[in-house]
Amino acid sequence: MEKKVFFLLLLAGFALTGCQKEVNKHEAQIKTYESLLAAKYPNASGFEWSEKTVSDNVYDMATFTYSSNSRATYNAEAWFDRAKGKWRMTEIEITFDELPDAVKQAFQNSEYADWRIEEVEKIEREGLEIKYEIEVKKQGTEADLYYAPDGTLLDVILDNPGHNNNGSLPSPIVDDIIAFINSHYSGANLIDLDIKHHFIKVKIIHENRKKQVRFDLQGNWLFTKYEVALAEVPQPVVNAFNGSEYANYEIDEIEFYETPQETYYVFELEAGDDDIEIKITPDGVLSVIGNGNGGGNGGGNGHVVGELDPVILDFINTNYPSAEVLSTNFPNTKIKVKIRHEGLVKNVFFERQTLAWIKTCWMVEWNHVPQAVHDAVAASPYAQYEVEEVHYVETPEQVFYAIELEADGQPDVTLHITPEGVIL
């Protein structure tokens, strides 16, 4: 009995020793962080530390103050990746007058110029260009506006609950992403990195051209896209377009896509009320990938019904009885099944790996949308915008209308509004 008690006490002693070593290691890490901040920010002091978990990543966050020649005190928050022991981001409260002139001018020329400014922040991040956030409010609606130093509006986030910049926080895989971009796009300037629910979007300037590079949440490259002019498109692609049934459509935009598997061009076309997207490979193979008018052409990526997984077929048969499967495509990490159900063409999306249903959406007429949705748009800051397109969206969590709005000289905006008129 005495030996057993001694053995248990011995184990407890080892455990306590191990825990104390971890505490000592973390305390030493915090002191290192404070030294780094003191070197980066003059007269940094008043450090208060807390632990934050974002997307399963643990961070040590310091709230502190520092001073500069132009100002006595700045309030700031710095984020450190605990696992890698690296600085990731600092958010610094500044005044509107301290913004770059280009940002101030862009804001004053925007639709938000008459909104009340609640807060202004400078956001510094590892490996990325500085960006600025202006938090504004009007009639109970809040918006976070993110600008690049040259005044480019990077993003608009409406009604950000709790007001945080977690989407701006570089995750641990940012190291791999930056390495990928430096390897594939030498000399690129990284403008912004935004972590969405299902992917990571990076905006860069490479060879004097704005490009969007997209990764999955594990840091795997999905694709890169950027806008090109018709004069830049190879002749076989131009010939394929001119020889198609869409030659008389107006070209709204052309984007070049690079993926791990292939490269291609996407033409966004318009003809009256008919919108369509076509994909053309560099050697001139054309396929339809999106038809706003509900056409059923599956194009070159289409798969016959028999190739669909039984799980997907069962879901469609259960939730959309008597539906006709028109085509199947595989955009990025998803499976997109186009069906005709109750006289409507609907797009049903599934995760490619798990086959889990993501959403179903289809176009609807604006005059068929509930009055509560009309009222919500009319009461929003975008009441003067033109309704470009409306989709009804079903997801596992909820249903809503996706209202695409546009106005000359302003970034396009999409509002998600429930049938009861609640803006999400």
The yes-or-no verdict on residue 281 having pLDDT over 90 is yes
Q: Which has the higher per-residue pLDDT, 71 or 265?
A: 265
For 409: left if phi > 0, alpha if psi spans -120 to 50, otherwise beta; the answer is: left
pLDDT score of 166: 62
pLDDT score of 299: 36
pLDDT band at 293 (very low <50, low <70, confident <90, very high): very low
pLDDT score of 400: 93
pLDDT score of 12: 55
pLDDT band at 198 (very low <50, low <70, confident <90, very high): low
Find all residues with CB under 8 Å of 82, minimum gap 6, and list them: 26, 29, 51, 58, 59, 60
Give residue-wise pLDDT tens across range 357-373: 999 999 888 878 889 99
The top-scoring range by mean pLDDT among 82-91, 97-106, 154-163, 261-270 is 97-106
| Helices H / strands E in the chain, number of each | 6, 23
Extract the runs of DSSP E, i.e. beta strands, from 272-333.
274-280, 286-291, 324-329
Instruction: Tell me the percentage of the chain whose pLDDT exceeds 90.
Output: 30
Q: Which has the higher per-residue pLDDT, 155 or 198?
A: 155
Give residue-wise pLDDT tens across range 152-168: 888 877 765 445 556 56
Euclidean distance between CA atoms 222 and 259, whole angstroms: 6
The yes-or-no verdict on residue 414 having pLDDT over 50 is yes
Q: Is it true that domain 228-293 has CATH number 3.90.1150.10?
A: no
Euclidean distance between CA atoms 302 and 336, whole angstroms: 10
Euclidean distance between CA atoms 156 and 179, whole angstroms: 28
Q: Please state the rounded mean pLDDT for residues 104-121.
A: 91
Residues forming beta bridges with residue 65, ordered by sequence position:
45, 75
Give residue-wise pLDDT tens across range 203-262: 888 998 989 998 887 888 988 999 999 999 999 999 999 999 988 888 888 999 998 889
What integer best gives the mean pLDDT of the chain?
82
Q: Which has the higher per-residue pLDDT, 271 or 305?
A: 271
Euclidean distance between CA atoms 307 and 210, whole angstroms: 38
Give residue-wise pLDDT tens across range 260-270: 889 999 898 88
The yes-or-no verdict on residue 283 having pLDDT over 90 is yes
- Whether pTM exceeds 0.75: no
Q: Which has the higher per-residue pLDDT, 281 or 173?
A: 281
13-32 as b/e: b if 16+ CB within 10 A:
eeeeeeeeeeeeeeeeeeee
pLDDT score of 180: 92
pLDDT band at 292 (very low <50, low <70, confident <90, very high): very low
The yes-or-no verdict on residue 393 having pLDDT over 70 is yes
Of 13-22, 131-140, 336-345, 370-379, least confident by mean pLDDT is: 13-22
Find all residues with CB under 8 Å of 7, minimum gap 6, and list them: none
Q: Is it true that domain 39-168 has CATH number 3.10.450.360?
A: yes
Find all residues with CB under 8 Å of 356, minimum gap 6, and list them: 350
The DSSP string of 131-178 is: EEEEEEEETTEEEEEEE-TTS-EEEEEES-TT---GGGSPPTTHHHHH
